Amino acid sequence: GFNIRRFNGKCIVKPQKEKVKEKLNQIKIWLKKHPNAKPEAVIDVLNPILRGWGNYYKHGVSKKTFADFDYKLVKKLIKWSKRRHPNKGMKWVIPKYFGRIKGNKWVFKADTKNRQGEDTTKFILRLATIPIIRHVKVKSDASPDDPQLREYWEKRKTKIGKNHYAKGSKLYRIAELQNWKCPVCKQHLFNQELIETHHKQEVAYGGSDEEYNLVHVHQKCHRQIHGKRAKSKIA
């Protein structure tokens, strides 16, 4: 998935053009198959795809590729939006579906409600906003099984975590408050297990999406929490 070449004496690693075209084509096919989907549904489907794809390539020289990808994606979303309103002009369509966020123009948006019924606005992820993080190789003699290197591995995992969440974001602050540990198993959050965000008080019983009600846990630990809840309800 990478194009590796030497430019002016430097080894430059970029996303492969074929993979970029393939991802854009996948999105194009999905949009064609779902012409009547709600804008917020389009954002909910595409954002995880874009975030995963962007995080995969964020360790390479990808900034220009991300910007080009965003430009082409906007064109596809404009076509999708116009197709929904064949009798409306572009002056009506653009303000309805696109807005500005954090200085970025032409961001696909949707006015909707959150799980508490409050008004909110969702935005499509711009790949160009994903920071480029250079990969740092593990020390040649560093073994995860060496107890003397426990601090080294803890710091490395925490650094990965800090690059995983946008700095200053709600998810970043939650992980920081937990000291980057899973409160169930007490292990580091970023130990290569899947991570999920758990509501301490269930949404069905009035729990909110605010920081005080959220905690990051490993997927298996999350299942354990809900398993205990289910048993207590039956009892």
Q: Half-sphere exposure of 211 toward its Cβ, with a 13 Å CA cutoff?
A: 11
**Mean pLDDT for the stretch of residues 187-193:** 92
pLDDT band at 176 (very low <50, low <70, confident <90, very high): very high
pLDDT at 94 over 90: yes
Tokens read off for 100: 């500005």
Give the span between the Cα atoms of 178 and 209, in whole angstroms. 17
- Between 167 and 123, the higher pLDDT residue: 123
Question: How far is residue 152's CA from residue 166's CA, in Å, rounded to a whole number?
Answer: 23
* Nearest alpha-carbon partner for 63 in 163, 130, 108: 130
Confidence at 95, pLDDT banded by 50, 70, 90: very high
**pLDDT at residue 233 above 80?**
no
pLDDT of residue 235: 61
Q: What value does the mean pLDDT take over residues 197-212?
A: 89
Residue percentage of the chain with pLDDT more than 90: 58
